[in-house]
Amino acid sequence: MLIYERYWAKQIYLTFTFVLFAFIGLFFFFDLINELNSVGQGNYKFSFAVIRVLLLTPSRFYEIIPVAALISTIYVFSTMASNSEYTIFRVSGLSTRRALFSLIKIGIPLVIVTFVFGEVIGPYSDQLSERIRLEALGSAVSSNFKSGVWVKDTLSNDEQGQAVTRFVNVETLNPDSTILGVRIYEFDSHFRLNDVRTAKSGQFIAPDHWRLHDVSETHFQRLVPDTFAAANALTPVYRSTIKQEPEYLMRSQLTPEILSVLLVTPDHMAIYNLFSYIQHLQQNQQDAQRYLIALWHKCVYPFAIFVMLILSLPFAYMHTRSGAVSVKVFGGIMLGMSFQLSNTLFSHVGTLDTWPAPLTAAAPGLIYLLLGLLALRWVDRH
């Protein structure tokens, strides 16, 4: 890096660290207040609430980094403009294009940090936080349905080499990924019901089996070859047999990772887990729009750092008489908040209107990038 680039980087990184931890402290306080409602329930004590909020901190880092980068860079450039430092850089031959490239170089480490928090640290700490909370409360994961979680599971060939489609109902998913109250409805390739299995509990056996305990299996055997033909009411079409088994080993595409999506919202999942779950939904012909938008958003979001840095550069061309540093920083805060709100708005509207997922995820960044380039062009000419 050149001398002025090292100077910029030092100022921006120091200010960025201060702004980031200031925001984290604020969010830690609000999250802790929110957790106080659960303190006293079961074994959930205040210490568990503090641990849970601490484990949520990496995800807060991931969400705040672009805004913190914008505010810190605006502050640094506004201070340089008020002290006429940036004017000296321009008189020394620093062009706007060169300044822009220098900012992009400074932003590369921030992009890497954002990616690490969003893909490695954040998803793991979020799942761990939710598991700690559920275990302390003595609760389990469930969906909004009273009957529990419903998942579709399709196999191209089962143990007999036939294509089957299962609808799996899990009443309770424990934090340790064991399942309770399992009901499995298995259909053949023509969607005719073959088996109904119920089990008290189950646990995953890697790589692709579930061991079910206390299993009751009801098997339906067709007695009439063509069920659409006129049948005698006195002649049974199916014969059922019931079998009890202490254990049953079932091959399935479902994994604890797929079921554990209930522990973490799509925006906080890692790209790999999102991609795997989207494949599962598409193979079972289910709607994956929400998760597709989350996947593309995760791919695009780290590069929002570059957009924020570009938006901050025009503030270096505004002299003190155009406004105090505090006013510019406040403007940066409002600009960052509007960017986050735009991201949320586009995600919800894209899910409702089924917009293309790449466009939905990239649109806010592209809009603000265009605004930043237009503002930079205007201040450069004036």
235's tokens: 């002649």
Report pTM. Answer: 0.71
360's tokens: 């939905």
Is there a contact between 273 and 255 (Cβ–Cβ < 8 Å)? Answer: no
Question: How many angstroms separate the CA atoms of 342 and 77, rounded?
Answer: 25
Question: How many angstroms separate the CA atoms of 143 and 172, rounded?
Answer: 9
Question: How many angstroms separate the CA atoms of 250 and 275, rounded?
Answer: 24
Nearest residue to 210 (alpha-carbon basis) of 272, 148, 253: 253
Instruction: Identify the segments of the chain with pLDDT beneath 50.
Output: 142, 322
Average pLDDT, the chain: 82
Is there a contact between 20 and 61 (Cβ–Cβ < 8 Å)? Answer: yes
pLDDT of residue 335: 83
pLDDT of residue 9: 92
pLDDT of residue 54: 92
DSSP 119: I
Please tell me whether residue 209 adopts helix, strand or coil conformation.
strand
Per-residue pLDDT of 133-181, as tens digits, reads 767 765 555 455 566 777 777 776 666 667 788 888 888 776 566 788 8
In the block, residue with structure tokens 């936080």 = 129
Alpha-carbon 253 to chain mean position: 22
pLDDT of residue 257: 65
